Amino acid sequence: ISADKLNVRSGPSAETEKLATLSYGDRVQVFEQEGDWIRVITKDNVKGYVLSAYVVSEVNPASRSASAGQAYNADLAASVLEYAKQFVGVKYVYGGSTPKGFDCSGFTKYVFQKFKIDLPRSSEDYYGVGTKVSRTDMKPGDVLLFDVYDNNRLGHVGIYMGKDQFIHASTSKGKVVIATLSKYSGNLLGIRR
C-alpha cells in the first residue's frame, strides 16, 4: 500500500461499508480489478476493495533499487507539474500555504494535496515520506530535499520537473519560480517519490 492510510471497503465504491484501514507498506493479496478498485485480502484475512491507485506491485528483489517501494506514475507526475506551473509568480510568504502566498513546503503540500497525496507541512518532515530515490533515478514529479543553510539539515523542498529544472517557492526570489537544479545554491540532500 502506497498511501499513508487506505480504507478497505465492502464493495468497489467509497459509499460502501468500511471494513478496515491499511497503512503505508502493508501487503495485500490482489485479485481482480473493477474500475478504479481492486479486490484484496489483507494480512488479517479481511476481504474487500481498495482504490487501485494506492496499490503497487512488489519489485523483483534481484533488481531492487532505491525506488523499489514506489511505482512511478508518469501521467500523475505530468498532471502534478502542470498544476504546479500555474502558481509561478505567486509571492513567497513564510508559513504560507495558499495561492495568496506560499513557503516551500506550503507550496509542495498544496500542489500534491490536489491529487490526494498528503505531504508534511514542514520541510524537515519530508525525509519520512514516500520512497528514497537515487539521483540517477530521479524523475519529474519527485520531491527534492535541500540543505540551504550549509548545516547538513533539510531546510527547503521543491518539485523536480525533468531536464535539470525544478519548481519551488523561493525565499531569495520572493515567489514561486522554475529554477535550474545544477545552478541552484542549495545542496541536494535527497529525493523522495
In the block, cell 478497505 appears at 8
Categorise residue 148: left if φ over 0, alpha if ψ from -120 to 50, beta otherwise: alpha
Alpha helices in 40-155 (DSSP H): 74-85, 104-113
Give the residue numbers annotated as catalytic, written as ranges. Answer: 104, 156, 168
Give CA–CA dist 178/176, Å, rounded.
7
What length is written for the chain? Answer: 193
Distance set, CA 64 to CA 61, 70, 135, 149 (Å):
5, 11, 15, 33
Amino acid sitting at position 77: A
H or E element in which residue 177 lies: strand 175-180
Q: Residue 142 class from Cβ within 10 Å (0-12 exposed, 13-18 middle, 19+ buried)?
A: buried
**Alpha helices (H) along 7-103:** 74-85
